[in-house]
Amino acid sequence: MKEMMINLDKNSNEALYIQLYKYLREEIKSNRIKKGTKLPSIRYLADYLKLSKITVDNAYQQLLIEGYIESRERSGMYVQEIEEMPFNSPKISKMTTSSPLSSNRIKYDFHYGSIDTESFDFNLWRRLTSKALKLSNGDLLQYGDHQGELEFREEIVNYLRLSRGVLCSSSQVIITSGTQNSLQLLCELIDNDDKSIAIEDPGWNISRFIFQKNNFKVTPTPLDKDGICLKTLREASPKFVYVTPSHQFPSGVVMPITRRQNLLKWARDTNAFIIEDDYDSEFRYIGRPIPSLQSLDEDERVIYLGTFSKSLAPSLRISYMVLPKKLLDKYKENMSMYEQPTSRLNQKTLQLFMSNGYWERHVQRMRKIYRKKHNTLIKSIEYYLNDKVRLIGGNAGLHILLEIRNGMPEDMIIQKTEMAGVRIYPTSKYWANNNNLDNPVFLIGFGCLSENQIREGIELLGEVLSNN
């Protein structure tokens, strides 16, 4: 069986391996591919369909897991006999969303939190998960250390030292189930008398919500070209400040070294703490990475937050925080009753992923992939949008900002772009105070789109913005 007429839509939001898996599954279920048929090799089918070998392998692995095919050693993949179901499979209704338009109409979704799933090596992850289970001898079924798996924390310590200059011990690392979980734990750790915090404005709206729900006095603090404004910070005199210095969310501003040093001096002089959210520092496309705030901190004033959501997969729900020693004893005294919130099996698998060198290679590969997508996005904006927009913060991370200057209000831009099949994301919800901007600003993510999809989506966006 060599020839297949397979129509895969590379512009679809559905991953290519899922499309290929669904096609083969239906061919097998309908008996158009007979029992005992040998499927094409991964290399052949990838070359024939102009796909990556990982894409084909992931489709085959899913069919293998569900029992549609079997793997024969030194021979290949063969179709297995599928028994008739004694009843019809239930119809699954499509979920509705709050969007006024069906998601099926959106061909180009520039979502800022999505990653490139095509480059994830599912087969390797399955092997490492299986190895983690074999090594554990059942121990992973127990609760485990409340701070997270020790060997995993040691891998994080080594990685942070080499990549971000963070100096800490494994005892200072707390594994969490996401940055929201990290912030919630910090809120519970902080005494009521100290519950005053400055946040970036604009900034991550969920952090503002968490601090407010935990009865903090929240001071939205404006940004200047170098990041959070120190003059306003000094006037507010909070006990804590929450910042995203390596790639300010959402503006994209990278805080220069002098502002970082001055922020640390402010914290030392006022006996305050800095919460440093280093959420996507792996991806910087111009110049060398600037050291983390924590690496410059000589007075233990920085609480460092990190995550694997942007660099690996958000569904793993693995993040971490590094507590200064000044807060560590307090954490152990007051928070030790909490069990670890993240799967021990996922932690062990990721530890093996890191200790065997796969993590470093994965980050290097994804940095190259995202740099290409980033460059494609910038060039497409310059070519198709030209004087209709102003580009903001385009040197790092998985999103950029676009100020749209065609005279249309935010809600009309959203409506017209979605009618055309393009989804972009307004930044208005990230402002605590009125933004006083002359034009609406939108987040444009590029992680989950192919280079062709980026070009086509921006071209279509340009057509929409021209017809106002």
The 10 Å CB-count burial string (b at 16+, else e) for 174-194 is bbbbbbbbbbbbbbebbeeee
The per-residue pLDDT for 86 is: 36
Residue 131 pLDDT class (50, 70, 90 cuts): very high
The fraction of the chain above a pLDDT of 70, given in percent, is: 93
pLDDT over threshold 80, residue 289? no
What angle in degrees, to the nearest 10, is found between the helix axes of 150-164 and 344-355? 50
Q: Which residues, other chains included, contact 152 with Cβ-Cβ below 8 Å and sequence gap of 6+? A: 175, 347, 348, 350, 351
Mean pLDDT of 175-192: 93
Task: Please give the structure tokens belonging to residue 159.
Answer: 């990685």
C-alpha count within 13 angstroms, C-beta hemisphere, residue 418: 17
The per-residue pLDDT for 91 is: 35
Residue 233 pLDDT class (50, 70, 90 cuts): very high
Longest dimension (CA), the chain: 75
CA distances to 180, 244, 363 from 223, in Å: 23, 12, 30
The mean pLDDT of the chain is 87
- With beta carbons less than 8 A apart as the criterion, state whether 425 and 108 touch: no
* Residue 333 region by backbone torsions, left for phi larger than 0, else alpha for psi between -120 and 50, else beta: alpha
Q: How far apart (Å, rounded) are the C-alpha atoms in residues 125 and 4?
A: 29
Q: What top-level class would CATH report for the domain 143-356?
A: alpha beta
The per-residue pLDDT for 362 is: 93
Is the Cα dihedral 57, 63, 66, 71 positive or negative? negative
Query: With 0-12 CB in 10 A as exposed, 13-18 as middle and 19+ as buried, what is 424?
Result: buried
- Give the domain 16-79 fold: Arc Repressor Mutant, subunit A (1.10.10)
Choice between 115 and 9, residue whose per-residue pLDDT is larger: 115
Query: With 0-12 CB in 10 A as exposed, 13-18 as middle and 19+ as buried, what is 1?
Result: exposed
Q: How far apart (Å, rounded) are the C-alpha atoms in residues 311 and 309?
A: 6
pLDDT over threshold 60, residue 94? no
Give me the residue spans of the domains in the chain: 16-79, 103-115+361-466, 143-356
Taking only the tens place, the pLDDT of each residue in 362-392 is 999 999 999 999 999 999 999 999 888 998 8
The per-residue pLDDT for 253 is: 87
pLDDT over threshold 60, residue 88? no
Q: For the domain 103-115+361-466, what is the CATH code?
A: 3.90.1150.10
Choice between 347 and 192, residue whose per-residue pLDDT is larger: 347
Taking only the tens place, the pLDDT of each residue in 36-47 is 898 898 888 888
- With beta carbons less than 8 A apart as the criterion, state whether 283 and 312 touch: no
The per-residue pLDDT for 21 is: 87
Mean pLDDT of 106-129: 92
The per-residue pLDDT for 194 is: 86
Which secondary-structure segment (H or E) carries 403? Answer: strand 399-404
Mean pLDDT of 73-85: 74
- The answer to whether domain 103-115+361-466 and domain 143-356 are alike in fold is no
The per-residue pLDDT for 192 is: 82
Is the Cα dihedral 271, 257, 361, 54 positive or negative? positive
Mean pLDDT of 2-19: 76
pLDDT over threshold 90, residue 137? no
Taking only the tens place, the pLDDT of each residue in 394-411 is 677 889 999 999 888 898
pLDDT over threshold 70, residue 150? yes
Mean pLDDT of 156-182: 94
